[in-house]
Structure 1
Amino acid sequence: MEFSRKLTKYTLIAFVLIAFSSLTACDNATSAEDEEEEPVGLRIKAGDVTIIEQLPGAQSVTGTLTINQGASDIYTVALLGETGSEIFLDPEEHGLTFDITDGNIVSINQEPGLDQTYIFTLNGLAQGNTSITVNLLHEGAAEFVSQSIPVEVTN
């Protein structure tokens, strides 16, 4: 009888430890849905045509945004993951801002709304050259900042 009681007691302790470790493992586990791929590059497109590309690990961009003075063009920013493929981030948590080296040459407008998060309008104000950088914000903090992107405004 004493042996049976000890066996039951140790079985109960083992069961409690296994159950507790299972619960702890579930609490610490992360699913693929919880993990978000980090952006490490970008493409700027006019329609389906890539105009600017900064590949993962690149220290510069390829391409130039060229616009006529007095014109406005619409572009879309596509973010790239580590493999160079386009990734999609929650627009409720992410947004874009732009830094313009010379705001007398170009301006940028963004339409409000979640469906417009990665779309911007580039306006050619005066003939000349400048550059922009694209900043991806995650809940207000910079998560990705592009390399300098050349912009040329022509007559």
Structure 2
Amino acid sequence: MLAKLIAETKPVTTPTLAYLDFGGVDIATGSFLREAVLGFRDFSRNAIGMLYPVLANANPVIEDELSVYLKGRNDAIWACALSTENTPVDPHILGELDAAQMSTLQLIAEHKPISAPELAKLRPNEGIGTTAWNNRLATLAAKGILMELKQGKTKMFAPVMEAV
């Protein structure tokens, strides 16, 4: 499945969501979810950069299977349902973000788009420097939780989905 997904994926030049639609799928093994869903997420984030996979229309059993695996790795991915118009409904995160990552995501959701230097200026009393903010942002972007938006030489970040 991963090879098929990669073969069908076209390069994108702007941040783009890729819904992995599990509508009509009753069960998916942990190994399938690891190899196909997370493999495609990692491929998208590393090779394409501007593509953000989201698990869509997965039933609770599939979401739970993937969530348990993600929590064991301190990893996460966006999930949602798709309406009949193919717009996202009920966006949520499967897996786990640590407290620092979650607070960073919430802060970015309030002030999007925002850069690491702007976050450092926004919260000077927390003692977190630009480099530490940059590390948090890079980690969340690698997981596909945040999207990177380039404005000149500056990397700005915003949540991939609106749910926090």
TM-score between the two structures when normalised by the length of structure 1: 0.29
Which of the pair is proportionally richer in strand?
A: 1
* CA radius of gyration, larger in: 1
Which of the pair is proportionally richer in helix?
A: 2
